[in-house]
Amino acid sequence: METINWKVEGMTCTNCALSVTKFLEKEGMQNVKVNPIDGDVHFEIVELDEAQQKNLTQGINSLGYKVVDEKLRKATASSHKPMNRYLRFLLICLPFTLVLMLHMIPGLHIHWLMNPWVQLVLCLPVYITGMYFFGRSAWKSLGSGSPNMNVLITIGATAAFVYSLIGTLMGQGDQFLFYETAAAIITLVFLGNYLEDVSVQSTQRELNKLARSQKVMANMIAFDDHHQELVFPVENTQLRSGDLVLVKSGEQVPADAKILWGEGTVNEAIITGESLPVSKKPKDKIIGGSLLTSGTLKAQVSAAADQSVLANILNLVKKAQGDKPPVQRMADQISAIFVPVVLGIAAVTFVANYFFLDAFTPALMRSIAVLVIACPCAMGLATPAAIAVGLGRAAKNGILFRNARSLEAFKTIRQVVFDKTGTLTTGEFSIDKFAAEGIAENEFKLIAYSLEKYSNHPIAQCISKYWKTSNDIKWTKIEEVKGKGMIGTSKEGDEYWAGSYVMAGNNITEDHHNIYVLKNGRLLGWIDVKDTVREEAASVISYLHTKKITTILLSGDSLANCNTLAKGLGIDTIYAEKTPEEKLEIISRLSETTPTAMVGDGINDAPALAKATIGISLSDASQVAMQTADVVLMNNGLKNLPLALGLGKHTLITIRENLFWAFSYNIIAIPIAAFGFLTPALGALAMGLSDVVLAFNSLRLLVKKTT
């Protein structure tokens, strides 16, 4: 399946997103995700040909929205930011509306303004502008079978305008002067949309900071015909894997790269949330978007701009923002039928008021007030606004949620399972001691290195690092048995093993060593390595205990080593000497009884991470880790686990607060309007401000204490 990423302009709320989603699903697109906040649209298709793309683009445009070519927009974008479209429409309508409203000021009587034809002339530009925006969108949404909020605005404003126009044409303008109501509805909704747009866009603040760091100038290194080094500026989006760059002190690293020359310190806070600079030397990797605080580096680009760590973070967060947690389903179901229901309520309001009051005008005004005060946007924005802030803050601190469902799942987590190597420990091993039995030490080291060089396990890599030699054994067959070790067959047909005591089986008398080396089932010796417990491990375990969360150690290491580590950290339960298959079975059993999070390295523990209620990977943002776990903690090890748990919990709390406000607002506001306790103009203003309340409540997540 091919994943298509589009940008769609013109969406103002989740009703708009629902219209786009339904259209794409009707056309056969799969896994459709639409984010009304930033206009990102993602869907999957086997292959998108030119004819299909044209058909989908025209279909979305016919709904009242616009598919934007991001590459073309970036190429033609000017240095001046265009005016917000809602502000532009507001400034067009506001002068006419203010003049129309002058006669409502107590004690101020302007004779010429009471002329119905003057009011018609003043109202007409506002009404035309409103219908150009709201009317077109409303008509197209009705044609698609998914009526949006603009239907309510259009009917309300049109009812007031047409009622006034009929009175004017009949010469009874004094009794039918509601032009200011039509103008006020349109103008105040534009004002509300503008405030909503500004406040909702501010929920993207942290993500926008990351996005701005994607595009910088780079010092590219090239060589002339005489092999003289030349340095010239290029935009980092033009860099490709293999290009050479020069990074000077104080400059931003333009792309993911590997240092070839020089040493320095790099501030990776924008990627990892860690404020302390990290020392870098030749062969170390540097992340695009980080800042070189001291030193000068020459480096080779390892990933193009659109494949960099920063780009992957942005794509991951944007996709997660378009996702919906289960708590949003009810709001979506109500939003989908909200407009028809409100139209029905408005009709009942008109009939009931006309019957009881025996007056057409008050009944009409009350039904219009019902139309314009109702706000499906509030219910639709309750979740996206909170998710945008929560995921933005998480990304800034090096926490990546792959989907919004993980946020809700955090609320139920009552136990956390930890892998040992590389999770509770640093995974940076050194050889502690070893013993060769019946074989020379040099030969023992050669055999061990020749086997372990083919494994990615941290212990194996340690042995390869310390005992590296160019004169290694050439195997006719070499394979890795996950959770056990390496098996190699020599040219002579001898079989060599290097692995855990599980692989050694009955051929050993001591089971507490890290690696055993055997030849045809006979023990050749053993190796012990030292690992360092992460500095933050003890405080993280203690934090979980304060939240009454059970901690479990699940490892393939020996029981003795696991007992030592668990005792030092205060871990509740131990499962030692387990293969990946056994880990999967244990996680399945634990998750069935109690919601369980597992923290692992994202590679060897992939099946168990996928099976847990929430899989959390400690990673340097490799593609493997991102595709394995629900949550990725970048570079800071366990340090950000409490923040991840807290953000998940408090983002869900904020979503529930937003939904409570949205439902309460509509439940209370609609009856108030129906009984005539507020004018249509005030209803339009209240409708716009209701969304602003949600945005500001969501923004509290930026500063809210979550741990």
- Does residue 388 belong to any structural domain of this protein? no
Which CATH number does the domain housing residue 231 bear? 2.70.150.10
Between these two residues, 18 and 649, which has the higher pLDDT value?
A: 649
Position 126 scores a pLDDT of 93
Listed residues 481, 507, 530: the one ending a domain: 530
State whether 300 and 421 are in the same domain.
Answer: no
- pLDDT-wise least confident of 180-189, 266-275, 288-297, 644-653: 266-275
Tens-digit pLDDT profile for residues 654-692: 888 888 888 888 888 889 988 988 778 787 778 777 777
- Does residue 333 belong to any structural domain of this protein? no
| 137 pLDDT more than 90 | no
The answer to whether 524 and 438 are in contact (CB under 8 A) is yes
Residue 115 CA to residue 515 CA, distance in Å, equals 96
Listed residues 17, 51, 76: the one ending a domain: 76
The answer to whether 651 and 407 are in contact (CB under 8 A) is yes
| 393 pLDDT more than 80 | yes
State whether 595 and 473 are in the same domain.
Answer: no
| 76 pLDDT more than 50 | no
Q: Which of 38, 40, 197, 419 is an active site residue? A: 419
User: Annotated catalytic, 419?
Assistant: yes
To the question of pTM greater than 0.75 for the whole model, the response is: no
Question: Which two three-digit tokens encode residue 383?
Answer: 């979740």
Half-sphere exposure of 667 (CA within 13 A, CB side): 8
The answer to whether 214 and 238 are in contact (CB under 8 A) is no
- pLDDT-wise least confident of 88-97, 131-140, 187-196: 187-196
| 271 pLDDT more than 70 | no
**Phi, psi for 275 (deg, rounded to 5):** -80, -25
Which CATH number does the domain housing residue 550 bear? 3.40.50.1000
**Phi, psi for 257 (deg, rounded to 5):** -155, 170
Following CA atoms 253, 255, 260, 263 in sequence, which dihedral angle do they give, to the nearest 10 degrees?
Answer: 20
Place of tokens 């310390």: 466
Position 590 scores a pLDDT of 92
CA 558 to chain centre: 39
Position 666 scores a pLDDT of 83
Q: At what angle do helices 376-396 and 680-699 cross, to 10 degrees?
A: 20
Domain extent, residue 234, equals 216-307
State whether 419 and 566 are in the same domain.
Answer: yes
Which CATH number does the domain housing residue 19 bear? 3.30.70.100
Banded pLDDT at 198 (limits 50, 70, 90): confident
Position 205 scores a pLDDT of 64
Ranges 84-88, 171-175, 513-517, most confident: 513-517
Residue 618 CA to residue 606 CA, distance in Å, equals 12
Write the CB contacts of 78 (distance below 8 Å, at least 6 apart in sequence): none
Q: CB 354: neighbour CB atoms within 10 A?
A: 17
The percent of residues above 90 in pLDDT, for the chain, comes to: 17
- pLDDT-wise least confident of 153-162, 410-419, 677-686: 677-686
Ranges 224-238, 325-339, 457-471, 691-705, most confident: 457-471
State whether 641 and 546 are in the same domain.
Answer: yes
Phi/psi zone of residue 705: left (φ > 0), alpha (ψ -120 to 50 degrees), beta? beta
| 134 pLDDT more than 70 | yes
Q: Measuring CA to CA, how many Å separate 223 from each of 228, 236, 246, 260, 301?
A: 5, 19, 13, 16, 16
Position 210 scores a pLDDT of 63
- pLDDT-wise least confident of 87-101, 189-203, 253-267, 388-402: 189-203
The answer to whether 313 and 271 are in contact (CB under 8 A) is yes
- pLDDT-wise least confident of 5-9, 380-384, 472-476, 678-682: 380-384
CB burial class (10 A; 0-12, 13-18, 19+) of residue 42?
A: buried
**How many residues belong to the chain?**
707
Position 550 scores a pLDDT of 93
Between these two residues, 107 and 314, which has the higher pLDDT value?
A: 314
Between these two residues, 643 and 695, which has the higher pLDDT value?
A: 643
Count of the separate structural domains present in the chain: 4
Listed residues 597, 617, 649: the one ending a domain: 649
State whether 411 and 540 are in the same domain.
Answer: yes
Question: What rounded mean pLDDT belongs to the chain?
Answer: 81
Tens-digit pLDDT profile for residues 42-73: 888 888 888 888 888 888 877 777 887 654 44
Tens-digit pLDDT profile for residues 222-232: 887 777 888 88
- Does residue 61 belong to any structural domain of this protein? yes
Give the chain's largest Cα–Cα span.
Answer: 116
The percent of residues above 70 in pLDDT, for the chain, comes to: 85
Average pLDDT of the residues in 350-358: 88
Ranges 250-259, 332-341, 404-413, 503-512, most confident: 250-259
Residue 219 β-bridge partners: 233, 246
Question: Which two three-digit tokens encode residue 180?
Answer: 């200011």
Following CA atoms 178, 181, 184, 190 in sequence, which dihedral angle do they give, to the nearest 10 degrees?
Answer: -120
Banded pLDDT at 403 (limits 50, 70, 90): confident
Residue 615 CA to residue 406 CA, distance in Å, equals 9
| 293 pLDDT more than 50 | yes
Q: Measuring CA to CA, how many Å separate 626 from each of 21, 31, 313, 315, 423?
A: 26, 18, 9, 11, 16
State whether 403 and 538 are in the same domain.
Answer: yes
Residue 554 CA to residue 448 CA, distance in Å, equals 26
Between these two residues, 174 and 128, which has the higher pLDDT value?
A: 128
State whether 303 and 235 are in the same domain.
Answer: yes
Pairing of strands 30-34, 40-45: antiparallel
Banded pLDDT at 78 (limits 50, 70, 90): very low
Position 77 scores a pLDDT of 46
- Does residue 199 belong to any structural domain of this protein? no
The candidate with the shortest Cα–Cα distance to 129, out of 88, 83, 169, is 88
| 22 pLDDT more than 60 | yes
Position 115 scores a pLDDT of 85
Position 140 scores a pLDDT of 77
- Does residue 329 belong to any structural domain of this protein? no
Residue 615 CA to residue 596 CA, distance in Å, equals 9
Position 651 scores a pLDDT of 86
State whether 414 and 553 are in the same domain.
Answer: yes
- Does residue 238 belong to any structural domain of this protein? yes
State whether 511 and 550 are in the same domain.
Answer: no
Average pLDDT of the residues in 34-44: 80
| 263 pLDDT more than 50 | yes
- Does residue 603 belong to any structural domain of this protein? yes
Which CATH number does the domain housing residue 500 bear? 3.40.1110.10
Residue 280 β-bridge partners: 264
Tens-digit pLDDT profile for residues 485-530: 899 999 999 999 998 887 777 777 777 788 999 999 889 999 988 8
State whether 442 and 405 are in the same domain.
Answer: no
State whether 522 and 541 are in the same domain.
Answer: no
- Does residue 47 belong to any structural domain of this protein? yes
State whether 546 and 627 are in the same domain.
Answer: yes
